Amino acid sequence: MASSSSCITFTAAAASRLVHLNPKLNPNLFKFKLKPISLTNKSLYTFVTLKSSSSSSSLPAGTTRSSNNRSITMSSSSSSPYSYNQQLVAAKKAASLASRLCQNVQKELLQSDVQSKSDKSPVTVADYGSQVLVSFVLQKELPSQTFSLVAEEDSGDLRKEESQETLQRITKLVNDTIANDGTYNVTPLSETEVLTIIDCGTSEGGPNGQHWVLDPIDGTKGFLRGDQYAIALGLLDEGKVVLGVLACPNLPLESITSQHQNALNKVGCLFSAQLSCGTYMESLDGSTPVKVHVSNTENPEEASFFESYEAAHSSHSLSGSIAKKLGVKAPPCRIDSQAKYGALSRGDGVIYLRFPNKGYREKIWDHAAGYIVIAEAGGVASDAAGKPLDFSKGRYLDLDTGIIVTNQKLMPALLKAVQDSLKEQALPSL
């Protein structure tokens, strides 16, 4: 028996099930200890194997060994028969297909005249179309009785008499995209089926079982302007984000700066992350994935920061004051959508600041995929009080004041600058 050190990731529930039910994890074959994934996350565990068989045939079903033969991951869910690897592959396929539909709609929109550019219907069509495709692909790739999707859209408006034409357009776009892709040999979806598939996204999420979390087009304002947007898909398992995919059709593979933010890229980027396995980036047309890492910069003078393009989504004056306090020299890079998390995960900038107006409730689909893309790239996202984001509370995030993201080393200084600026802002002006 070869001796090697390897790493297997499970929830506590799955770990105990495996130990009791799977003879292949017999201590005669595996000597291991259980270690929490992180100090703050005590519900996900790693079996650190001290001794294991080199033969993959001794691995439990659904387990895979990475090419360097050191890392093994498998489904940790008590409610899914699929491994995280299988689920990530399906998520990538779903987001890629949805982004193809969105790219076609945006191309048409940008070629149209000024009058139709002020019309919001293209984004409506692409939004619903993207949700249908993601839901369709996930259910085709991972058939399951327990499919649960928390997504932004429902079919209410589309069922109205005046939406008949829009529904026809969505149905045609979805069917054309499926036919052009060629993977699924299905009869074209009817309008009724399209409505039913959209309504698969009405799950409430929560702390138990698995839930897919989808923003079919994050950054609709950016989509209409011809700028950045993202198809953002994450998976919750027992309330934690365990994998995520960000398809960013207008984000170049090379680093962006504020000067280049409007440069449209024909191919686009796909970020994918899986718990304990890192974050990878590839082109949307399928280049070899490369592992990405957040910037390690500790010096705020070298740190540029991202924020929303739309001032209505995040206070630009508050982020300006935080940046000044920290000593950040570079101007803010303002782009739409969770493309900010993707860009940050590969070190395009160092900080992301988000401070919506008081009373605004953040939705889980606006952050789930971005959260794991950043975490697995070595970064950290928290609320303005330094607490990790909690995705287990249903469709909304329950958080304090705002969301801040940076690398581990810079977080303490950033948190202090944020809290000082918030205190100053709360003082009555003299």
Residues that are catalytic? 127, 220
Tell the smallest beta-carbon distance from residue 413 to ligand AMP (Å).
Answer: 23
> Nearest distance from residue 277's CB to ligand AMP, in Å?
26
Count of residues engaged in binding Mg ion, rule: CB under 5 A: 3
Using the minimum distance from each CB to ligand AMP, give the nearer residue, 141 or 310: 310
Separation CA 182–CA 108 (nearest Å): 22
* Nearest residue to the partner Mg ion, using Cβ: 218
- Three-state SS sequence of 340-351: HHHHHHCCCCCE
Closest contact distance (angstroms) between CB of 406 and ligand AMP is 16
- The residue nearest ligand AMP at its CB is 308
Query: What is the rounded distance in angstroms from the CA atom of residue 63 to the CA atom of residue 424?
Result: 52
Nearer to ligand AMP, 8 or 343 (CB): 343
Task: Considering the complex, state which of residue 77 and residue 337 has its C-beta at the smaller distance from ligand AMP.
Answer: 337
By a kind-dependent CB cut-off of 5 to 8 A, residue 360 interacts, out of Mg ion, ligand AMP, none, with ligand AMP
Our CB check for ligand AMP shows the closer of 218 and 238 to be 218
Least distance CB 95 / ligand AMP (angstroms) = 16
Torsion of CA 353, 356, 357, 362, to 10 degrees: -150
Nearest of 64, 54, 52, 61 to residue 14 by alpha carbon: 61
> 3-class SS at 123?
helix
Q: Which two tokens stand for residue 51?
A: 């001794």
Judge contact between 240 and 43, C-beta under 8 A.
Answer: yes
Q: Does 127 bind Mg ion (CB under 5 A)?
A: no
Q: Which is nearer to ligand AMP, 274 or 308 (CB)?
A: 308
Task: Give which of ligand AMP, Mg ion, none residue 310 binds (C-beta under 5 to 8 Å, depending on kind).
Answer: ligand AMP
Q: Which two tokens stand for residue 273?
A: 């992350």
Interacting span for Mg ion (CB under 5 A) from 54-62, 141-149, 203-211, 358-366: 358-366
**Among ligand AMP, Mg ion, none, what does residue 313 contact (CB within 5–8 Å per kind)?**
ligand AMP
Q: What is the DSSP string of 51-96?
A: E--S-GGGSPTT-EE-TTS-EEE----SS-SS-HHHHHHHHHHHHH
Alpha-carbon gap, residue 370 to 365, rounded angstroms: 9
How many C-alpha atoms does 361 have within 13 Å on its Cβ side? 9
| Residues of this chain that bind ligand AMP (CB under 6 A) | 215, 218-219, 308, 310, 312-313, 336-337, 356-357, 360, 363, 366
Least distance CB 218 / Mg ion (angstroms): 4
Q: Which is nearer to ligand AMP, 356 or 388 (CB)?
A: 356
Strands lying side by side in the sheet with 379-383: 333-334, 305-307, 351-354, 403-407, 379-383
CB of residue 356 to ligand AMP, shortest distance in Å: 4
> Is residue 336 a contact residue for Mg ion (CB under 5 A)?
no
CA torsion through residues 369, 98, 271, 11, sign: positive
Q: CA angle, 418 as apex, 329 and 251 as ends, to 5°?
A: 60
User: Which is closer to Mg ion, CB of 218 or CB of 282?
Assistant: 218
Query: What is the smallest separation between the CB atom of 310 and ligand AMP, expressed in angstroms?
Result: 5
Asked if 332 and 307 touch (Cβ cutoff 8 Å), the reply is yes
Give dist(CA 216, CA 105) in Å, integer. Answer: 14
Which residues in 203-262 contact Mg ion (CB under 5 A)? Answer: 215, 218
The answer to whether 366 contacts Mg ion (rule: CB under 5 A) is yes
Footprint of Mg ion (CB under 5 A): 215, 218, 366
